[in-house]
Structures are given as C-alpha cells and as structure tokens.
Structure 1
C-alpha cells in the first residue's frame, strides 16, 4: 500500500476517492521508564524507551490505516498526517489520510 503525505502521486492518476481513513493509539507511560527518563533528562540524551514506544505507535497506526484502506478497495493513501499529543501519563498518536484508487 502506497502511503504519501502529498495530495497526489507523481505519474499516477487518482481515479477514485474511497474516503477518509483514521486510526489512533493511546499508550500509557511506564513509571519505571519515567524515573529512568527523568534521570536521563538531567544529563541529556535520547530517551530510547520513549523513542521505541513512538516507533511502535507509528507502526500500529499505519497498519490500521492500511487495513481500513484495503477494506474500502483503495490501493493508496494520500495526504497522510500523523499527530502526537501527550497527556498525564499517556501519549496519543493519531493518523489520517484519504484512501484512493490509483491508475
């Protein structure tokens, strides 16, 4: 499944729009990881546990978007957007785009 952030695909024609596809995931943060990350933030550097959590979230959201697009008979998703928000002890990743049929 082709997924692009642009509204079109070079050298391809959109022959049908099948609709908007959306997905989200909310994950709670781990208290143990929070403590270690707090210490890491004092000395600086990447918070690898949170990076891994975000990568897992992106994979899950994209997989769900693909499943939705396939269910409506699309072969691509254009205008893909991912948005992240963090709350009290949680993070939410939302993905959306337009399922289309490319020629």
Structure 2
C-alpha cells in the first residue's frame, strides 16, 4: 500500500491551468521537467494475464503508474525550486515506450513565481 506524501506549508503550486487564479505571474523561469522509466515485473505480467481472463483492475500496474507519476512530479518540482519558482503552471504528463516492457512517464510544465 502506498501512503500519500503530505505537502509542506511552502509547497509549490501545481496546476494544469495557464495561470494561478487570484495570483499574478511576476517571473517566468521556463520549462521544468521530471521523468522516470519503469519496467514491468514478470510476476505482475503473469497475474495481469490471469486478470485479463476474468476482468477487473490490474492493481499492480495501477500502483506502478501512481508511483511513477509521483516520482516524475517530484523531480519536476525539485527543478522548479532550484530555479526559485513557487508555482508550476500548465502541467502535463506524457508517456512513451522506450524498450519492450519499459515505459517513461514524463511530467513537464512552466516554472513561475506568483504573488
């Protein structure tokens, strides 16, 4: 089971919007990104094959993707902090297959300072 991380009081604002409602963008730092590449586990593949027969959620893959999303976002936020940003706007996710059984999860957005 995965436990959600609590955000500190000085957390960076993340939004898929082009700005932060009620706040003004006062500095623009540019593109920030974070990524991780994850491979499937052979045991999970076998269990997923059985689950395909009877139907239902593939919980092992759901957890794998949740962890990958969180890791890519954490890396993007770390890059934004290093630039001095307090927000990342227009956040997006992308995935791509990089090898048989392995995929990259990529998070990106625009680092800004808002007030």
> Normalising by structure 2, what TM-score?
0.86
* Count of residue pairs brought into register by the alignment: 103
Provide the alpha-carbon RMSD of the alignment.
0.9
Counterpart of 1:59?
70
Q: 5+ unaligned residues in a row in structure 1: which ranges?
A: none
Describe how 1:1-103 pairs up with structure 2 within 5 A.
1-86=12-97, 88-103=100-115
Offset, 1:90: 1.1
Q: Contact 2:34 / 2:74 at 8 angstroms: preserved in 1?
A: no
CA distance in 2, matches of 1:43, 1:83: 30
Q: Which has the higher contact order (CA 8 A, sep 6+)?
A: 1
Q: 5+ unaligned residues in a row in structure 2: which ranges?
A: 1-11
Offset, 1:36: 0.6
